[in-house]
């Protein structure tokens, strides 16, 4: 059995990848606030040093201890050798005609992931990867085509955020977890990263400025709802018919649509946030009038809005529908009383648009 099609082979690959990852040096922010204070105390720092480091990292765009001039030299050296703030480096950056910037971040074990900064008006949104590769194996997605490599730690996700901030000399106004990976299948590390983003002493991004995108992992959606924080949630529907959806998103066969809808209802009730259905429009596959009506019915059940994403071509298997079909689809949703938007394509010329991130060398 080749290509990870055997469940045992897949489990073994995940086990080996995790073991390898755990052997890595953790970053300072892989640790909780109290652990960071203990680490700094063990390295000879006073109790206020933790706040000083946070200020450098999250207010002044400084990630090298060497440049943290209000820390003693021995402390800087000690922290630098054992608890780096950023792991990995930007190996390559591509900037699109619309100023969208895609960075390939290479971690010390050689794993590469892509992350994107997307400017609009005066605000910038970062798109962060939560896994290298993805077990989702969605047929229309570059990350899925390459299969799962390994989970990323919260420190590795933060490294993408900080390296991108450094590259644009600013922090983002919004962050979306829509790069490669299924965030809710890497729940603990994703949760840790979300809390770093939302912490007022750290990145200080309001929960409503952070979006978690998922193919619909009911257990993960409910666990996130239990945090009772108002993170935005984007559910990748892509087809309203369960059988067809399983073909497009093979991993979804483990998570029945009915259970996902129930979980989204819980999410809505606990957080008071309106879920978004992401819908990648593929010509002749999911762009029919019938699909539009079925999608409207599902959206109305959770009072979700729908974001239509005409397919960003990365392989010849699919094509985006023509403009009229996209607008007709949106028209039907609106007639049925569902708020629907069409996502503007960003960064397609550098393969940074939705579904095009792959972490290729
Ligand atoms: S669309 Fe999302 S879940 Fe599907 S393969 Fe791509 S990254 Fe994974």
**Per-residue pLDDT tens over the stretch 110-147:** 999 999 999 988 899 999 999 999 998 898 887 777 78
Q: Which residues are catalytic?
A: 114, 354
CA–CA separation, 196 and 204 (whole Å): 8
Identify the pLDDT of residue 132: 94
Q: State if residue 295 touches ligand 1 by the CB under 6 angstroms criterion.
A: no
The number of angstroms, rounded, from the C-alpha of 351 to the middle of its chain's C-alpha atoms is: 16
Identify the pLDDT of residue 19: 55
Identify the pLDDT of residue 21: 53
Pick the atom of ligand 1 nearest to 280's CA. 1
Identify the pLDDT of residue 289: 97
| Per-residue pLDDT tens over the stretch 241-286 | 999 999 999 999 999 999 999 999 999 999 999 999 999 999 999 9
Residue 125 CB partners (closer than 8 Å, separation 6+):
117, 118, 119, 172, 173, 174, 175, 176
Q: State if residue 136 touches ligand 1 by the CB under 6 angstroms criterion.
A: yes
Which has the closest alpha carbon to 180: 206, 209, 146, 226? 146
**Mean pLDDT for the stretch of residues 305-313:** 91
Q: Looking at the predicted structure, is the pLDDT value of residue 2 above 70?
A: no
**Mean pLDDT for the stretch of residues 48-59:** 97
Long-range contacts of 5-13 (CB under 8 A, 24+ apart): 10/135, 10/148, 13/148
Quote the mean pLDDT of the chain.
90
CA–CA separation, 49 and 166 (whole Å): 22
**Mean pLDDT for the stretch of residues 162-177:** 97
CA–CA separation, 304 and 261 (whole Å): 10
Q: State if residue 189 touches ligand 1 by the CB under 6 angstroms criterion.
A: no
Q: How far does the centroid of ligand 1 lie from the alpha carbon of residue 329, in Å?
A: 23
| Strand pairing class (276-281; 210-214) | unpaired
Q: How far does the centroid of ligand 1 lie from the alpha carbon of residue 244, in Å?
A: 16
Q: Looking at the predicted structure, is the pLDDT value of residue 4 above 90?
A: no
| Strand pairing class (148-151; 131-133) | antiparallel
Q: Which residue has the higher pLDDT, 63 or 351?
A: 63
Q: How far does the centroid of ligand 1 lie from the alpha carbon of residue 58, in Å?
A: 29
Q: Write the CA distances from 120 to 99, 125, 311, 335, integer angstroms.
A: 9, 8, 21, 29
- Which range has the worst mean pLDDT, 4-18, 40-54, 76-90, 195-209? 4-18
Per the document, the length of the chain is 361
Residue located nearest, by CA, to atom 5 of ligand 1: 144
CA–CA separation, 31 and 37 (whole Å): 10
- If one residue of 113, 135, 136, 142 were mutated to test the ligand 1 pocket, choosing by the most ligand atoms within 8 A of its CB, it would be 136
- Which range has the worst mean pLDDT, 53-62, 135-144, 283-292, 332-341? 135-144
Identify the pLDDT of residue 6: 59
Q: Looking at the predicted structure, is the pLDDT value of residue 92 above 70?
A: yes
Identify the pLDDT of residue 1: 42
- If one residue of 114, 116, 137 were mutated to test the ligand 1 pocket, choosing by the most ligand atoms within 8 A of its CB, it would be 137
Q: Looking at the predicted structure, is the pLDDT value of residue 31 above 60?
A: yes
Q: Looking at the predicted structure, is the pLDDT value of residue 25 above 80?
A: no
| Confidence band for 51, pLDDT divided at 50, 70 and 90 | very high
Q: How far does the centroid of ligand 1 lie from the alpha carbon of residue 249, in Å?
A: 8
| Confidence band for 315, pLDDT divided at 50, 70 and 90 | low
Q: State if residue 138 touches ligand 1 by the CB under 6 angstroms criterion.
A: yes
CA–CA separation, 219 and 265 (whole Å): 13
**Mean pLDDT for the stretch of residues 309-313:** 86
| Confidence band for 350, pLDDT divided at 50, 70 and 90 | low
Identify the pLDDT of residue 121: 82
| Confidence band for 356, pLDDT divided at 50, 70 and 90 | low
Identify the pLDDT of residue 310: 92
Identify the pLDDT of residue 147: 85
Q: Looking at the predicted structure, is the pLDDT value of residue 333 above 90?
A: yes
């Amino acid at each position: 059995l080749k290509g990870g099609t055997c469940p045992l082979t897949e489990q073994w690959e995940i086990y080996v990848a995790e073991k390898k990852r755990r052997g890595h040096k953790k970053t300072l922010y892989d640790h909780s606030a109290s652990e960071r204070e203990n680490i700094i105390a063990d390295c000879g720092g006073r109790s206020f040093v933790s706040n000083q480091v946070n200020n450098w990292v999250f207010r002044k765009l400084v990630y090298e201890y060497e440049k943290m001039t209000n820390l003693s030299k021995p402390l800087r050296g000690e922290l630098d050798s054992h608890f780096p703030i950023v792991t990995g480096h930007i190996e390559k950056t591509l900037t699109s005609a619309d100023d969208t910037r895609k960075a390939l971040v290479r971690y010390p074990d050689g794993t590469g992931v892509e992350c994107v900064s997307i400017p609009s008006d005066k605000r910038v949104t970062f798109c962060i990867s939560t896994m290298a590769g993805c077990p989702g194996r969605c047929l229309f997605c570059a990350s899925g085509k390459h299969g799962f490599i390994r989970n990323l730690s919260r420190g590795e996700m933060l490294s993408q955020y900080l390296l991108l901030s450094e590259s644009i000399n600013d922090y983002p106004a919004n962050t979306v977890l829509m790069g490669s990976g299924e965030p809710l299948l890497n729940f603990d590390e994703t949760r840790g990263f979300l809390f770093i983003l939302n912490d007022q002493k750290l990145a200080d991004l309001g929960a409503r400025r952070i979006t978690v995108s998922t193919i619909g992992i009911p257990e993960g959606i409910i666990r996130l709802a239990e945090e009772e924080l108002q993170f935005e949630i984007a559910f990748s529907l892509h087809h309203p018919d369960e059988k067809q959806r399983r073909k497009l998103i093979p991993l979804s066969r483990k998570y029945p649509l009915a259970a996902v809808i129930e979980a989204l209802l819980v999410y809505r009730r606990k957080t008071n946030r309106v879920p978004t259905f992401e819908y990648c429009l593929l010509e002749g596959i999911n762009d029919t009038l019938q699909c539009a009506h079925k999608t409207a019915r599902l959206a109305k059940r959770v009072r979700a809005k729908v974001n239509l994403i005409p397919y960003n071509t990365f392989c010849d298997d699919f094509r985006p529908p023509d403009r009229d079909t996209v607008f007709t689809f949106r028209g039907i949703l609106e007639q049925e009383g569902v708020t629907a938007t069409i996502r503007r394509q960003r960064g397609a010329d550098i393969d940074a648009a939705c579904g095009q991130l792959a972490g290729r060398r």
